[in-house]
Amino acid sequence: MEISTLATYHCLAFVWYFFVAYSITHIRTEERPSEVFLYGGQWKYLTVLNLVLQAVFYGVSFLADVLRLVKKLRCAKCVISSRDLLFSVLAFPVATFVSISFWTLYTYNRELVYPKSLDGVIPLWLNHAMHTAVLPFALLEILALPHHYPAKKKGLVLLGFVAFLYISWVLWIYSVTGEWVYPLFALFSPSGLAAFFAGSLAVIISFYNFGEFLNRMIWGQSE
């Protein structure tokens, strides 16, 4: 794909994610179900954090494209390295995890992840923007250009560290409020919850490996 085309695509994707993140974080206070938006607000939900992550990624990608267009190759190299690290370790696996895990649990029992009370607050288009569109965007990014993946150990350590931070945030919110971020967590015993978190980490690691596999199959071992 031509650099100018990539720049246009990344710019539009950045604007889209910024708009979606803005929309979900600016729901009027009086419209928010009290049982959903407690301590931590929207920032306790992985879905919302993913929107911010995707906006940052596409912003960095657009900057890399612009620097390549204006021939600032030394600066572009540094930004491209940051772009590829963001995509490989976080943007692709988290987007894939958010989409697949949400719709799997929603199909099983929506009250565990997305209570019916949200239907009157969050429009259908916004729900799909947060939970559906993120996956094709991630796949399209792999098809659009090659990404250099870090050494496997480094990538998994970084992904595991971010996962640990989010789990710590979830546990902190529970310790303060006595309420779980997702009603699903209340179904587990402490050991069951630990097993669930470990299983979720294994799933997101598998998505990391899947992204690396697709990148290698489509583009080869690109540097």
Distances (CA, A) of 109 to 41, 105, 168: 23, 6, 25
- Measured in whole angstroms, the distance separating CA 151 from the mean position of its chain's CA atoms is 21
CA distance 157 to 159: 5
Query: Structurally, how many domains does the chain consist of?
Result: 1
Give pLDDT, residue 33: 52
Question: Residue 143, CB half-sphere, CA atoms under 13 Å: how many?
Answer: 7
CA distance 29 to 27: 6
Reading the chain (223 residues) residue by residue, the pLDDT tens digits are 788 899 999 999 999 999 999 998 877 544 455 555 557 778 899 999 999 999 999 999 999 999 988 877 778 889 999 999 999 999 999 999 999 999 999 999 998 888 888 888 889 999 999 999 999 999 999 999 999 999 999 999 999 999 999 999 999 999 988 889 888 999 999 999 999 999 999 999 999 999 999 999 999 864 4
Long-range pairs, 81-86, Cβ under 8 A, ≥24 = 81/148, 83/57, 83/147, 84/147, 84/148, 84/149, 85/150, 85/158, 86/53, 86/56, 86/57, 86/60
CA-based nearest residue to 211, from 64, 104, 78, 94: 94
Q: Is 7 within 8 Å of 69 (Cβ atoms)?
A: yes
Give pLDDT, residue 36: 52
Give pLDDT, residue 132: 96
Give the domain range for residue 129. 3-219
Give pLDDT, residue 153: 94
User: What phi and psi values does residue 72 have, to the nearest 5 degrees?
Assistant: -90, 70
Q: Is 40 left (phi over 0), alpha (psi -120 to 50) or beta?
A: left
CA-based nearest residue to 2, from 68, 58, 60: 68
